[in-house]
Amino acid sequence: MNICVVGTGYVGLVTGAVFADLGNDVLCVDNDAAKVEALRAGRMPIYEPGLEEMVTRNVGDGRLAFTTDLQAAVRQSDVIFIAVGTPPKATGETDLSQVEAVAAEIGRAMDRYKVVVNKSTVPVGTGELVREVITRHQTRPVEFDVVSNPEFLREGSAIEDTLRPERIVIGAPNQQVAMTLVELYAPLERPMIITDLPSAEVIKYASNAFLACKISFINAIANVCEVAGADVGHVAKGMGLDSRIGREFLQPGLGYGGSCFPKDVDSLIHTAGRFGYDFRLLRAVVEINHERTPHVIGMARKALGGLEDRTLGVLGLAFKPNTDDMREAKSLEVIRRLHAEGARIRAYDPVAMDNARPLLPPATGFCGSAYEAAQGADALVVLTEWNEFRFLNMERIRAALRRPVIVDGRNLYEPERMRRLGFEYHSIGRKAVVPG
C-alpha cells in the first residue's frame, strides 16, 4: 500500500518506519528541510531504542523515504496519516492549527479518492473539522473519508508498542473504510476495535486520563503512608495484585509528565467543559500532580536543613527513562526551584543532557557520570528511573558525597539496604532512613 505520513516526530517517524517494515511504500513528510535532510542521512531527531536501525534498513530497501513536498506525497498515496503536533494552549484547549494546515494542503493536492487518518491526539469532533477543511480547500470535488486511528505508544518502547499494541482502535464512518485500515494492520495480528469516529477520539483521551488518575491516586496514598508510617510499596503491591486494579501505573514519585498525559488531561477537562460538564475528578488529579515537585523539594530541604549554598547531585533529566524527551519533565521544575532557593546543581542523564541544557538555568552544572554528579555534593536527588541508576556502586557513591544523603523521587532503592550502606535515605511514601 502507498502511505503518506505527515509529521516526523515520535508518532509519525515510528509509524512510518513500522509500516515500511511491514512491506508498504511510505513517504514521511515534514516542513523542516533540515530535519528531512538529517533523516535522509540516517540521523534521528529523537532517541528511541531500535528506531535508527529500522529507519536505515527500510531506507536502504527503498520502502521508506523523506520529503518536504506534501502535495506530491498526497497524490502518490492511498492512505494519508496526519501525525503532527497538537500542543496545548494556555487555557488547556488543544491547538489544532498544525492539523488544520495539513488538512488544507491535503485538500488542495487531492486528485483521487483518499483515506485520511488522524493519528495525532485530537479532541472529539476533530474528524469532522478535518473533513470540513479538506472539502473547503479542494480545487474540485473529490471523494475521501476521514478515519480516527489514535496511537498508544510509549516513548522508550515505541517500536514494541507499534508492532505489538494491546489494541488497535479504528474509528470510521462505515465498515468499508474501516477495512482499509484493518488490511493495513492485519500483519500485526493484534486485537482491533472498530467504532465510530467520535468514540475513537474519546478512547485516547479517556485512556490517558485514567492512567493519570492512577498515578495521582498512588501519590496521594503515598502522602498518607508517610504520615502513618506505612510503606507505599507494600500498599501498591497489595492493590496491584487485584486483577480489577492491576500493577501498572501504581509507582509513586514525582507524578506524570511528558508529551502526552499533562496536555491530554487538560484537553479532556477543557473539552468536557465545552460540552457543559465540569470534570472535577480530573481537576483534582492535576492538582495532586502539581504538588509533587514541592513535596520532593521539601524532603531535600528538611534533610539538609535548608538549600541555600548546598550542592546537589541530580540523577536523571528526561521525563522518563529510555528517551531524551524533556517535554514536561519534572526535572525542569525541580532544578529551577532548587536554584531559586540557592542550591548549586550538578546534573547527569544518560542521553538527555543536550536537550536539557537550553532549558535549565545557566548555572546548572552537567556531569559525565552519576559518580561525577555525586562528587562533593551534600545530597543526591534521583529524578528519573534509568536502569543505570539502579545498579550504581553505592559504596562509591557514598564515598563521593560530602554527606551520605539521598532523596529518591522514584523509589529506586530499598530502604533497608540504604540503612546497611550508611545512607540517610528519603523516598516517596516510606519512612525515612536516618542512620544512628
- 3-state DSSP assignment of residue 183: helix
Kindly give, in sequence order, each residue whose CB lies less than 8 Å from that of residue 28, ignoring residues fewer than 6 positions away: 4, 5, 8, 12, 13, 16, 39, 64, 65, 66, 67
Cα(35)–Cα(55) distance, integer angstroms: 14
Joined together, the cell numbers standing for residue 368 give 559525565
Cα(187)–Cα(184) distance, integer angstroms: 7
CB 108 within 8 A of CB 102: no
CB 300 within 8 A of CB 381: yes
Cα(126)–Cα(118) distance, integer angstroms: 9
CA-wise closest residue to 198 among 176, 172, 174: 172
CA-wise closest residue to 172 among 143, 201, 194, 150: 194
State the catalytic residue, choosing from 4, 28, 213, 260.
260
Cα(98)–Cα(70) distance, integer angstroms: 13
Cα(20)–Cα(285) distance, integer angstroms: 39
CA-wise closest residue to 321 among 261, 387, 256: 387
Decide the pairing of beta strands 365-366 and 379-382. Answer: unpaired
Cα(217)–Cα(32) distance, integer angstroms: 40
The backbone region for 273, taken as left when phi is positive above 0, alpha when psi lies in -120 to 50, beta otherwise, is alpha
Would residue 367 show up in a list of annotated catalytic residues for this protein? no
Joined together, the cell numbers standing for residue 162 give 507499534
Provide the annotated active-site residues: 260
